[in-house]
């Protein structure tokens, strides 16, 4: 490969998400991961997943931006603010932030996503969807036509975002949450697992679904089981 997409990748992070990102880039793209970086205060060794682990402050000298792209493998800490901050910091160092879109995701030629997107397998993304910068779509979601997902949102797994829905910047959608068509979810919202949204949610709204309750009757006393 030649050009921008031939550059090796520096992944910021040294946790499970960074390990997963390295796996996907290695096994499902023609890119390779050169090294990992963390903030110097969090550096606890010099190797991660068989590759060099360096302080972010030292990464440019060893792996310059002219020959390397970056990827921020950070979850939804501080309602996705931490991922945004690290993306901005790496770009200020001159790195271009790359994205990953699984070969096993169902997408169309009009897929519109920003930098540092992380779109895993079994996502179905219908036509006319717009996905912002720094967005994570974990596995198995349905993103309906004409939906918009704002910058640095985190969509977990098996989420149904119906047609025309707007998800605000830095919002989090929990596992199995569902929206009706054409509603808006504000910025920095946290939508709990299994929640069903039928109306607009304001900025910083928190929605939870009733958690399952343990029955007082043990399974050995259930009829028919």
Considering the chain, tell me which residue range(s) the CATH 3.40.50.20 domain(s) occupy.
4-97
Q: What's the pLDDT at 4?
A: 53
- Give 1's pLDDT tier (boundaries 50, 70, 90): very low
CATH topology of domain 99-205: UDP N-Acetylglucosamine Acyltransferase; domain 1 (2.160.10)
Task: Work out whether strand 184-185 and strand 47-48 pair parallel, antiparallel, or are unpaired.
Answer: unpaired
User: Looking up tokens 């399974």, which residue turns up?
Assistant: 219
Q: What is the CA radius of gyration of the chain?
A: 19
Residue (of 151, 206, 201) closest to 174 by Cα position: 206
User: Tell me: the pLDDT tens digits for 136-160?
Assistant: 999 999 999 999 999 999 999 999 9
- 36, pLDDT greater than 70: yes
Closest C-alpha among 182, 117, 184, 126 to residue 155 = 117
The answer to whether residue 3 scores a pLDDT higher than 90 is no
Q: Is the pTM of this model over 0.85?
A: yes
What is the tens place of the pLDDT at every residue in 43-76?
Answer: 989 999 999 999 999 999 999 999 999 999 999 9
Q: Within the chain, which residue ranges are assigned CATH 2.160.10.10? A: 99-205
Class of domain 4-97: alpha beta
3-state DSSP helix/strand/coil percent for the chain, to nearest 5? 20, 25, 55
Do residues 94 and 65 make contact, with C-beta atoms less than 8 angstroms apart? yes
């Amino acid at each position: 490969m030649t050009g921008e997409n031939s550059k090796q990748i520096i992944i910021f992070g040294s946790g499970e998400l960074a390990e997963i990102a390295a796996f996907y880039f290695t096994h499902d793209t023609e890119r390779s991961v050169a090294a990992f970086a963390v903030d110097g205060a969090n550096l606890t060794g010099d190797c991660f997943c068989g590759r060099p682990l360096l302080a972010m402050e030292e990464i440019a000298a060893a792996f310059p931006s002219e020959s390397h792209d970056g990827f921020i493998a950070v979850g939804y800490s501080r309602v996705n603010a931490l991922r945004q901050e690290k993306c901005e910091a790496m770009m200020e160092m001159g790195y271009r932030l790359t994205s990953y879109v699984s070969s096993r995701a169902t997408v169309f030629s009009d897929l519109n996503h920003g930098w540092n997107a992380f779109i895993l397998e079994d996502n179905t993304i219908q036509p006319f969807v717009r996905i912002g910068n720094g967005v994570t779509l974990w596995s198995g979601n349905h993103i309906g036509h004409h939906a918009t997902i704002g910058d640095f949102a985190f969509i977990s797994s098996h989420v149904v975002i119906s047609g025309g829905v707007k998800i605000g910047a830095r919002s989090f959608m929990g596992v199995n949450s569902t929206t009706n068509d054409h509603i808006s979810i504000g910025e920095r919202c946290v939508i709990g697992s299994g929640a069903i949204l039928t109306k607009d949610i304001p900025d910083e709204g928190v929605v939870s679904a009733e958690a399952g309750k343990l029955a007082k009757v043990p399974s050995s006393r259930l009829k028919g089981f």
